[in-house]
Chains A and B, each alone.
Chain A
Amino acid sequence: MDAPPLPPVAATFLCDAMLKTVLLLLTLTLTGSGATAPLHLVAWAPGYPGSTTQAQPTMDEFARLLANAAGWDADRVTAEYQETEVGGLARLTHEGTQFALIPLALFFKYEDQLDLHPLAQVVGPGGEASETWCLVAPAGRITGPGDLAGWTVMGIPGYSEAFVRGNLLGAWGPLPSNVNVEFTRRVLGGIRRASSGENVAVLLDSAQTAAMASLPNAGELEIVATSERVLLGLLVSVDTRVEASTEEALSGGLMRVHESPAFAELLSTVRVSRFEPVDQEAIASSREAFDKAR
């Protein structure tokens, strides 16, 4: 909030003491406005359905409920959804974004570049904060990572090659350098290619793996690798653009959101049951795997 201008006559008689007093008042005023400054959150999920426009009503409701949970005015928080990597990156680079909700693969990819700090982790509908991923390939053709030489490994996390090589498949063994890791939102298309015999293997999350048996071409495929457990997603602060007290208020609010029936219903539409404190050990061990593959 801008301080009101001083009348010219008053300014003429300002002595040092008065000036200091004015500056102090101005500082307090600005600090006060900082405590109610607008906050913006970006839900950034490349490869997931919907667009920013389509998701906006849901994000508006999310922001309103989140502000209430943090004890702020309902209109203090705004939120938006970004379904592409480039779109989300642009929004997080913007000074006006202070928080983001992102999958673990994005967190590691942009942790340093965007100075991301985890504040809370997502708990999925089954009550788990982590999941395993599976690599599915044409049946009978892959017995180890070396067999994938020259193949394409595709899936939603494919936007982060290091995450795929290190976190999802690192425990299985190192992938040959000529494996093409490819991002795709169209997982079914990848499965069709694999089941028709192309040199394609597809990464499936836990829900997709569980549903694989129901696919008509399931018999043509087999699971060749299963990852270590990785966190589903994180709420992060971006580039320390707000004070610690604001982060704490937001985190505290997030931990309670599932207690509100309205918020719980809203979260269920995006397959989130609640938020919980960050498992720092899990992040540290995942970061180690990621760094090794970089």
Chain B
Amino acid sequence: MRRSAAVIAALAISVGGCARALRPVDAGSPLGSADRASADPAAAQLLMQAAETAFARRPDLAQVREAEQLWLRAAVTDATNAEPIVGAVRAQVWLAENDTDQQRRRDTATESVSTAQWCSRREPANPTCSYWLALAVGVQANQRRATANDGLQVMVRALHAAIERDERTDHAGPHRVLALVLVRAPGWPTGPGDPDTGLVHAEQAVSLFPDFPPNWLTLGEALHETDQPQRSLEAYRCALEAARGQLDHPDAVVWIQGAEATLGDDEGGCTITVAAAGNLF
């Protein structure tokens, strides 16, 4: 998963709007009518493997759309498992951020929220479902500004729920995304924005997964927003170093671009170390 920088880009300036972020799920969806009794986990597993392979070929749009369909088929094939639904939401969130057609981005964003709601319905205590619901609501807010106000509240609740259940989901994704929300959203009392608390979550994400470049990118942004420009640059250097160590990752180019956009010609290396206790130095 990339840093989801665009997930909440629009939220930072959207303080108005009154549409609800969550709507009742479509009872007619194939996800709702899937029969648990006739679940075929083995077949679903094959579909999920094919979906992962296709999704790894991003930024090829056709391949990501193929991955989305494969995951949805897997979710219907095995109605006892939320994992393929999570996969479908991952693909939809990616498409909602990257599809070249604006209308398709809007439609897919709305669809991703509905799919994520089915995930939570299938496994209400699954932290991954809460996490991806937050991301889906974020891309929806980006595409449909009227949902931003309510969407921010939904995101914060879902991310806190994910942290409570499993903060390690998606390389500390709940901490990372919550940090971005708190750093970028309008501040109190208009919105949940609170850069100081955002920094705490960014530091926790790095402490848990220091090898994951998006965590460093988020920390760099949080340090910048809390008026620590020098440490911010150091964090971006760590992001670059971590990304360059994973060049075979489908999102490595995006991570490197994200770091280089801030660093420019800066040639320094990563000097922040993570102690065993998780403290940053």
Using a CB–CB distance below 8 Å, which chain A residues touch chain B?
49-51, 53-55, 57-58, 81, 185-189, 192, 207-208, 210-211, 214, 265, 268-271
Q: A186-B196, A192-B196, A268-B16 are in contact. Are A49 and B189 (CB under 8 A)?
A: no
**Interface SS of chain A:** helix
A265, B19: Cα distance in complex, Å: 13
Q: A186-B196, A186-B226, A188-B196 are in contact. Are A207 and B16 (CB under 8 A)?
A: no
> For residue A209, which residue of chain B has the nearest CB?
B189
Contact of B188 among A54, A57, A211 (CB under 8 A): A211
B196 surroundings in chain A (CB, below 8 A): 186, 188-189, 192
Q: A188-B194, A188-B196 are in contact. Are A50 and B189 (CB under 8 A)?
A: no
A188, B183: Cα distance in complex, Å: 12
A51, B185: Cα distance in complex, Å: 11
Query: Are B189 and A208 neighbours in the complex by a CB distance under 8 Å?
Result: yes
A186, B188: Cα distance in complex, Å: 9
Query: Are A54 and B12 neighbours in the complex by a CB distance under 8 Å?
Result: yes
B145 surroundings in chain A (CB, below 8 A): 269
> For residue B186, which residue of chain A has the nearest CB?
A49
* 28 CB-based A-B contacts, threshold 8 Å: A49-B184, A49-B185, A49-B186, A49-B187, A49-B191, A49-B193, A50-B13, A50-B186, A51-B12, A54-B12, A54-B13, A54-B184, A55-B12, A185-B187, A185-B195, A186-B187, A188-B188, A189-B195, A189-B226, A207-B189, A207-B190, A208-B188, A210-B189, A211-B189, A268-B16, A269-B15, A269-B16, A270-B13
> For residue B18, which residue of chain A has the nearest CB?
A268
A51 to chain B, nearest CB (A): 7
A54 surroundings in chain B (CB, below 8 A): 9-10, 12-13, 184
Q: A49-B193, A210-B189 are in contact. List 11 more A-B contacts (CB 8 A).
A: A54-B184, A188-B194, A188-B197, A189-B194, A211-B189, A214-B189, A265-B16, A269-B13, A269-B14, A269-B16, A270-B13
B197 surroundings in chain A (CB, below 8 A): 188
A265 surroundings in chain B (CB, below 8 A): 16
**Interface SS of chain B:** loop
A57 surroundings in chain B (CB, below 8 A): 10
A54, B187: Cα distance in complex, Å: 16
**B77-90 interface bits toward A, Cβ cutoff 8 Å, 1 = contact, 0 = none:** 00000000000000
**B195-222 interface bits toward A, Cβ cutoff 8 Å, 1 = contact, 0 = none:** 1110000000000000000000000000
A214, B190: Cα distance in complex, Å: 13
B229 at the interface (CB under 8 A from A): no
A16 to chain B, nearest CB (A): 58
B17 surroundings in chain A (CB, below 8 A): 269
**B231-246 interface bits toward A, Cβ cutoff 8 Å, 1 = contact, 0 = none:** 0000000000000000
**B1-34 interface bits toward A, Cβ cutoff 8 Å, 1 = contact, 0 = none:** 0000000011011111100000000000000000
A270 surroundings in chain B (CB, below 8 A): 13, 15-16
> For residue B195, which residue of chain A has the nearest CB?
A186
B218 to chain A, nearest CB (A): 16
- 7 shortest A-B CB distances, which residue pairs? A211-B189, A269-B16, A50-B13, A50-B12, A268-B16, A189-B196, A49-B186
> For residue B149, which residue of chain A has the nearest CB?
A269
A269 surroundings in chain B (CB, below 8 A): 13-17, 145
> For residue B12, which residue of chain A has the nearest CB?
A50
B202 to chain A, nearest CB (A): 15
A210, B190: Cα distance in complex, Å: 11
B14 surroundings in chain A (CB, below 8 A): 269
B16 surroundings in chain A (CB, below 8 A): 265, 268-271
Query: Are A55 and B187 neighbours in the complex by a CB distance under 8 Å?
Result: no
A210, B188: Cα distance in complex, Å: 11
**B49-74 interface bits toward A, Cβ cutoff 8 Å, 1 = contact, 0 = none:** 00000000000000000000000000
B185 surroundings in chain A (CB, below 8 A): 49
Query: Are A58 and B13 neighbours in the complex by a CB distance under 8 Å?
Result: yes
> For residue A269, which residue of chain B has the nearest CB?
B16
Q: Please indicate which of the listed interface residues B188, B193, B197, B226 has the most CB atoms of chain A within 10 Å of its own CB.
A: B188
Q: A186-B187, A208-B189 are in contact. Are A49 and B226 (CB under 8 A)?
A: no
B151 to chain A, nearest CB (A): 13
Query: Are A271 and B15 neighbours in the complex by a CB distance under 8 Å?
Result: yes
A269, B186: Cα distance in complex, Å: 11
A78 to chain B, nearest CB (A): 17
A115, B173: Cα distance in complex, Å: 49
A207, B9: Cα distance in complex, Å: 24
A265 to chain B, nearest CB (A): 7
